[in-house]
Amino acid sequence: MKSNKEATIYDIANALKISASTVSRGLKDHPHVRKEIKRKILLKAREMGYQQNKFASNLRQKRTNTIGVILPRLDSYFMSTVVSGMEKVANLAGYNLIISQSQESVKKEASNILTMFNSRVDGLLISLSYDTKNMDHINVLFEKSIPIVFFDRVCEHSDCKSIVIDNYKAGYEITSHLISQGCKRIAHLAGSLFRNVYSDRYEGYKQALADNGIENDNKLLYISDLTNDAGIEITRKILSLKQKPDGVFAANDTSAVALICEFKKAGVRIPEDIAVAGFNNDPVSRVVVPNLTTIDYPGREMGEIAASTLINQLNGRQTAKINSIVLGHELIIRQSTMKRRETDN
Amino acid sequence: MKSNKEATIYDIANALKISASTVSRGLKDHPHVRKEIKRKILLKAREMGYQQNKFASNLRQKRTNTIGVILPRLDSYFMSTVVSGMEKVANLAGYNLIISQSQESVKKEASNILTMFNSRVDGLLISLSYDTKNMDHINVLFEKSIPIVFFDRVCEHSDCKSIVIDNYKAGYEITSHLISQGCKRIAHLAGSLFRNVYSDRYEGYKQALADNGIENDNKLLYISDLTNDAGIEITRKILSLKQKPDGVFAANDTSAVALICEFKKAGVRIPEDIAVAGFNNDPVSRVVVPNLTTIDYPGREMGEIAASTLINQLNGRQTAKINSIVLGHELIIRQSTMKRRETDN
DNA sequence: TTAAATTATGCAACCGATTGCAATATTTCT
DNA sequence: AGAAATATTGCAATCGGTTGCATAATTTAA
């Protein structure tokens, strides 16, 4: 029962002895078509198994109902949550999502942007790669006025919106918390300081130290890609320090968990010897022993809001000139930093 | 510097005083165009910022270089790994990926398939939803001979390929392992038995019991969606059993981990009182205490192979009539099932 | 009953790239 | 040099839906 011929509006028009224009209008409920004819068109369309050819339509309308998504990696809990949220919103609004990964490389990011551009996405949602340093490769889109919404790893740009959390504040809060638990030497595991998410957390960390009269020691700053392996590697470095830290603030949970596991192997007690805090509230943070103190990071919401912001813009429903939307976060205190049991409930 | 006018091959043709056909051919290195002209065309194209309009091209060629992906949920470690693998392969082969989630509902699955169909994807990669019971909604694609490759949650269909692991064998192995550790009453947490992944694991479990002379007790079978919450709920049920199991084989790590955490809260010792095994080798399985025995499940590979299988088919590079590709898996034995320390190294 | 207003329909151009076929230009061979 | 073969180019139709404008049908107003 295989047919290679697709039914077109012309076929419907012929079968009904009316014009293709009327069929076209009827199918999309245009007011200039009689109810009766509309019904007939719909019926015949169903009967013939008609499906709209989006290419013809897109070609004519210069619109694709497709949104491009570029992100560093898809395979983290956080990102998959974000994308899940985006997909939901986009789907509901009748948009398709084209997704691609930059694999943390500008080069691939640029080539992905070009592909998206060729595919004529209506708009782009993007979270920058680890080593993106300037925005030249995004200019193709700017020049064609294709709206862009940044999420999470954003970049200051007057023409586009960003969806973020207050990383500075979160970094400040988590560091203050460590200090309140009695930590005096706090190490920090950061990602690329070219990315707002990491530099802001770092700044918050430094400010909290300063506000509490603790000197910032550059030897306690570890920059890496924050993978599990990086965590293991850094643990080794920390253990070889003459003057060991009594607290660690890692910029994500993956590395924090790696740290905890390695520390435990080395006989370091968490949190008694070293308190450890992470960032993201990955499922793993609730499972590791001791449970990991972290920042709850609203991934799904971020995805949903990024998508709906972009879609609103595409539909001209531009509510004022929003530059950025800052979502709430929450410090989740768990065992891994509770040095002072008596002060907690 | 914003221009809304896209450069077309006609613009290039005019600028060069040649025909659009020649430009079209020149751009894609057709042999019927002089080298010299080709060079000029390429140069002018770059100069004018020309980008091919894929819609016009697709419309004419009836090909989109787009692959649709439909999966239950994106926000699990396993699935994001799969998609990551697919994206990589597809991208390399010049294909775009359109991704959508069925949210475990047939209804949404059907509507997603329709959307994909309208977008004229060249092929489809699909993992079935929890409650899909028949394949009627996929027939639209079959009728148009659009190739489909199933992955993980597959369905027997003579016309399409499936990428899977041997769930039966894995279920058998993990159950046998539990038995070898001395378990006599083993509970099983399954997902929808309409899905091969869960029914096969269940069958493997039953066979292992049978082969070891253990009676299969239906009261020890728990069917759920295998979420964290489901795990908590089932823990309660298990704890209220008169005759408690001494081992549990959960069909995924999420529920297994929930089980372990709840059991621990209730004072049940793992593995001494109850041994627990999961499935998937999620990162969390290495972190939970005790570490979770599980089956390593090659997600990224599954994604890569599914994508390349489909792409080969699209390009007519059909290597024989493959019905299904079975990937290897590995039983990973960790603390959560090691009742007999002396027998292990 | 007829003019004016309103509602439906169709014509034909258009979106931009592709491609079979015919036409022209260039080489090669006697 | 002239014919034959080969290499280049362009014409024009095509893919399928959309839409401005003109025309036809129907309703309303006078």
Residue pLDDT, tens place only, B271-288: 999 999 999 999 999 999
pLDDT in tens, B73-90: 888 889 989 998 998 898
- On whether the CB atoms of residues B247 and B270 are closer than 8 A, the answer is no
CA distances for A218 relative to A188, A215, A277, B53, angstroms: 9, 10, 19, 52
Residue at shortest CA–C1' distance from D10: B19
Q: Taking CB atoms and an 8 Å limit, are B112 and A91 in contact across chains?
A: yes
CA A48 to chain centre: 42
- pLDDT value, residue A97: 87
Nucleotide closest to residue A57 (CA–C1'): D17
B100 CA, C13 C1': Å apart: 37
- Per the CB < 8 Å rule, is B143 touching A64? no
A287/chain B closest Cα distance in angstroms? 5
A91 has pLDDT over 60: yes
Within residues 6-65 of protein chain B, the ones with CB less than 7 A from nucleic strand D are: 17-22, 25, 31-35, 37, 56, 59-60, 62
By the CB < 8 Å criterion, does A88 face chain B?
yes
CA distance A339 to A296: 21
Question: Which positions on strand C lie below 7 Å from a protein C-beta?
Answer: 7-12, 14-20
Q: Does the beta-carbon distance from A56 to B59 stay under 8 Å?
A: yes
Which runs of consecutive H residues, i.e. helices, occur in A73-195?
A: 77-92, 106-118, 139-143, 167-180
pLDDT (0 to 100) of residue A340 = 74
Is it the case that residue A24 has pLDDT exceeding 90? yes
Stronger pLDDT, B114 or B182, i.e. the higher one = B182
Please give the residue of chain A at the shortest CA–CA distance from B99. A97
CA distance A291 to chain B (A): 10
Q: What is the pLDDT of residue B345?
A: 42
Question: Rounded to an integer, what distance in angstroms lies between the CA atom of residue B21 and that of residue B10?
Answer: 9
Within B78-181, strands assigned E span: 96-101, 123-126, 148-151, 161-165
Say what the pLDDT of residue B79 is: 92
pLDDT band, residue A64 (cuts 50/70/90):
confident
Cα–chain center distance at B240:
36
Give the Cα separation of A251 and A167 in Å (integer).
10
Q: B327 has which bridge partners? A: B165
pLDDT digits (tens, 9 = 90+) for B143-184: 777 889 999 999 988 778 999 999 999 999 999 999 999 999
Look at residue B320 in the predicted model and tell me its pLDDT. 63
CA of A49 to C1' of C29 (A): 59
Q: Which residue of B has its CA nearest to A259?
A: B287
Tell me if B2 and A144 make a contact (CB, 8 A cut-off). yes
What pLDDT was estimated at residue B344?
A: 44
A284 with B283: Cβ contact below 8 A:
yes
Tell me the chain B residues in contact with residue A52 when contact means C-beta distances shorter than 8 Å: 118
pLDDT tops 60 at residue A282 = yes
- Which uninterrupted H or E stretch holds B57? helix B54-61
Maximal C-alpha separation, chain A? 89
Q: Which nucleotides of D are covered by protein (CB under 7 A)?
A: 7-12, 14-20
Report whether B124 contacts B95 (CB < 8 A): no
**B58 in reach of chain A (CB within 8 A):** yes
Q: Give the pLDDT score at B109.
A: 93
Set of chain A residues whose Cβ sits within 8 Å of the Cβ of B98 = 66, 96-98
Q: Is B24 near strand C, with its CB below 7 A from some atom of it?
A: yes
Per-residue pLDDT of B211-242, as tens digits, reads 999 999 999 999 999 999 999 999 999 999 99
Average pLDDT over chain B, rounded to an integer: 90
- Who among A49, A54, A87 is closest to B74 (CB)? A87
Q: Where does the pLDDT of residue A320 fall: very low under 50, low under 70, confident under 90, or very high at 90 and above? A: low
pLDDT tens digits along A105-139? 999 899 888 878 777 888 999 999 998 888 888 88
pLDDT band at A3 (very low <50, low <70, confident <90, very high): very low
Q: Which residues of A touch B100 (CB under 8 A)?
A: 87, 91, 96-97
Interface probe for A, chosen from B71, B74, B79 (most Cβ of A below 10 Å), is: B74
CA pair distance B306, A160, nearest whole angstrom: 37
The phi, psi pair for A74, rounded to 5°, reads -95, -20
Alpha-carbon distance of B91 to B77, in angstroms, equals: 21
* Structure-token match 């079968």, residue found: A15
Does A97 sit within 8 Å of B100, measured CB to CB? yes
pLDDT band at B2 (very low <50, low <70, confident <90, very high): very low
- What pTM was estimated for this model as a whole? 0.83
Q: Round to whole Å and give the CA distance between B191 and A310.
A: 37
For the residues A224-233, what does the mean pLDDT come to? 96
Q: Report the pLDDT value the prediction gives residue A49, as an integer from 0 to 100.
A: 83
Task: Give the nearest chain A residue to B257 (CA atoms).
Answer: A287
Q: In whole angstroms, give the CA distance from residue A109 to residue A128.
A: 8
**How far off is chain A from B50, nearest CA to CA, in Å?**
10
Residues of A within 8 A of B145 (CB-CB) are 2, 4
Distance C25 C1' – B37 CA (angstroms): 15
Residue B43 CB neighbours (<10 A): 12
Q: How far is B3 from chain A (nearest CA, A)?
A: 6
Verify if strand C has an atom below 7 Å from the CB of B21: yes
Amino acid at A237: K
Residue A2 in this model has a pLDDT that exceeds 50: no
Nearest by CB to B75, which of A73, A84, A91? Answer: A84
CB atoms closer than 10 angstroms to residue A6: 15
Residue A175 has a pLDDT of 98
* Shortest Cα–Cα distance, B49 to chain A (Å): 9
